[in-house]
């Protein structure tokens, strides 16, 4: 993912990639070479001691976001952090507090905000064109446990840490659940009020273990949701969705019409059915021009000194929903998001 950051940031006017940091020397060297980055450091502390930079893109594994982001903020650096912001909501709120107290730019890479079709769907819903929203369906489907489109998960540490709680992963829920929760609530313009979640981990290897990795993090989840306006929703996700590489779908149904966003590895689509088309159930494609990416907006935020969304606090609020999904699954009960449990 750091390669993605490097490519995207390098394309933003006025942004210069001045250094790479990785605890793995081979990966650091390959990264610097691929992106022509002049300086390299084996730790963030070493980079901070050098200090010749304004901002950090934190693309470390999930459990490393918290200590490294706090260290960067303490050194007065703006931070663009990968999702999930942390491994639990308490840590995520601590990061949001630290960034706000320091008055530093803090944004989280909820990548699918870059999907122009999602932005337009939100505008359509919020303009009232589909009326009061009654029902929401959202899914995030991947298949890297059943396909080799991205390589064989058995052979790479970059996949194995995602399957192991001890290595800081909250499984599918933590990895891509945060994306689809944001996709569903941002696209529908509605907050999540109550959830009921089920998580599932399937056996994948003898003893459900590969070397040092116990494969105990969830592979799939399903969630029913009550939104702030009373609408009901279903949100689900799996790494076993054979035939889908990386596909997010959102359908928002209102009393005057509906919108559907589909984002796949090979493109995005927005369709609407509303007005006179409701009676014939005719769906029409909507063409949408590109929108500024998170990378561009982070650079703009650093330049202007004005924070943009999605910020750490928003990501921490989503993290709270992820934490509660684990409570809901563990206790087999519905939980309210905005009340003490």
3-state secondary structure of 238: strand
> Given candidates 15, 140, 175, 295, which one binds ligand NAD under the rule CB under 6 A?
175
21 lies in the site for ligand NAD, by CB under 6 A: yes
Quote the least distance from Cβ 95 to ligand NAD, whole Å: 13
Cα–Cα dist 216/177, whole Å: 17
102: buried, middle or exposed (CB in 10 Å: 19+, 13-18, 0-12)?
middle
What ranges in 103-244 are assigned the alpha helix state H?
116-126, 157-160, 171-172, 178-188
Rounded to a whole number of angstroms, the minimum distance from the CB of residue 44 to ligand NAD is 6
Q: For the chain, how long is the longest CA-to-CA vector?
A: 66
Asked if 27 is part of the footprint of ligand NAD (rule: CB under 6 A), the reply reads yes
118 in contact with ligand NAD (CB under 6 A)? no
Alpha helices per DSSP H over the chain: 2-10, 25-35, 44-50, 65-74, 89-102, 116-126, 157-160, 171-172, 178-188, 294-304, 312-331
Does 152 help bind ligand NAD (rule: CB under 6 A)?
no
Tokens for 42, please give them: 């084996």
Nearer to ligand NAD, 33 or 341 (CB): 33
Give me the least distance between CB of 158 and ligand NAD, in Å please: 3
- Which range in 61-69, 114-122, 182-190, 278-286 contacts ligand NAD by CB under 6 A? 61-69
- Locus of tokens 């001691």: 49
Residue of 62, 226, 260, 296 that binds ligand NAD (CB under 6 A): 62
- With binding defined as CB under 6 A, does residue 2 bind ligand NAD? yes
166 lies in the site for ligand NAD, by CB under 6 A: no
Say whether residue 83 binds ligand NAD (CB under 6 A). Answer: yes
Residue 323 within binding range of ligand NAD, rule CB under 6 A: no
Least distance from ligand NAD to the Cβ atom of residue 316, Å: 15
Of 33-52, which residues contact ligand NAD (CB under 6 A)? 44
Helix axes 178-188, 312-331, angle to 10 degrees: 110
311 binds ligand NAD (CB under 6 A): no
Residues with Cβ within 8 Å of residue 103, at least 6 apart in sequence: none
The Cα–Cα gap between 186 and 188 comes to: 6
Residue 231 C-beta: closest distance to ligand NAD, Å: 27
Tokens representing residue 161 in the block: 């840490």
| Chain residues in the site for ligand NAD (CB under 6 A) | 1-2, 21-24, 27, 44, 59-62, 64, 68, 82-83, 109, 111, 158, 175
């Amino acid at each position: 993912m750091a390669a993605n950051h490097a490519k995207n940031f390098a394309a933003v006017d006025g942004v210069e990639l001045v250094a790479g940091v990785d605890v793995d020397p081979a990966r650091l060297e390959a990264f610097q070479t691929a992106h022509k980055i002049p300086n390299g450091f084996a730790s963030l502390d070493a980079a901070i001691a050098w200090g010749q930079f304004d901002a950090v893109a934190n693309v470390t594994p999930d459990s490393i976001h918290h200590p490294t982001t706090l260290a960067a903020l303490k050194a007065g650096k703006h931070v663009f952090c990968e999702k999930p912001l942390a491994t639990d909501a308490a840590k995520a709120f601590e990061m949001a507090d630290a960034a706000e107290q320091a008055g530093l730019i803090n944004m989280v890479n909820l990548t699918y905000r870059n999907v122009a079709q999602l932005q337009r769907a939100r505008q359509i819903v919020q303009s009232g064109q589909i009326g009061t929203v009654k029902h929401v369906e959202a899914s995030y489907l991947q298949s890297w446990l059943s396909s080799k489109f991205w390589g064989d998960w058995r052979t790479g540490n970059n996949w194995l840490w995602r399957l192991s709680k001890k290595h800081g992963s909250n499984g599918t829920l933590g990895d891509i659940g945060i994306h689809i929760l944001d996709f569903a609530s941002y696209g529908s313009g509605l907050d999540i009020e109550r959830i009921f979640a089920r998580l599932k981990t399937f056996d994948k290897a003898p003893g459900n273990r590969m070397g040092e990795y116990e494969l105990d993090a969830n592979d799939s989840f399903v969630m029913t949701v009550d939104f702030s306006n009373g609408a009901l929703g279903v949100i689900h996700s799996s790494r076993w969705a054979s035939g889908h590489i990386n596909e997010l779908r959102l359908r928002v149904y209102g009393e005057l019409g509906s919108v559907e966003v589909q984002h796949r590895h090979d493109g995005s689509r927005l369709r609407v059915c509303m007005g006179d088309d409701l009676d014939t159930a005719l769906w029409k494609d909507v063409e949408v021009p590109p929108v500024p990416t998170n990378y561009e907006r982070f650079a703009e935020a650093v330049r202007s000194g004005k924070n943009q969304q999605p910020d750490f606090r928003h990501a921490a609020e989503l993290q709270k929903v992820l934490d509660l999904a684990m409570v809901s699954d563990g206790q087999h009960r519905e939980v309210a998001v905005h009340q003490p449990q």
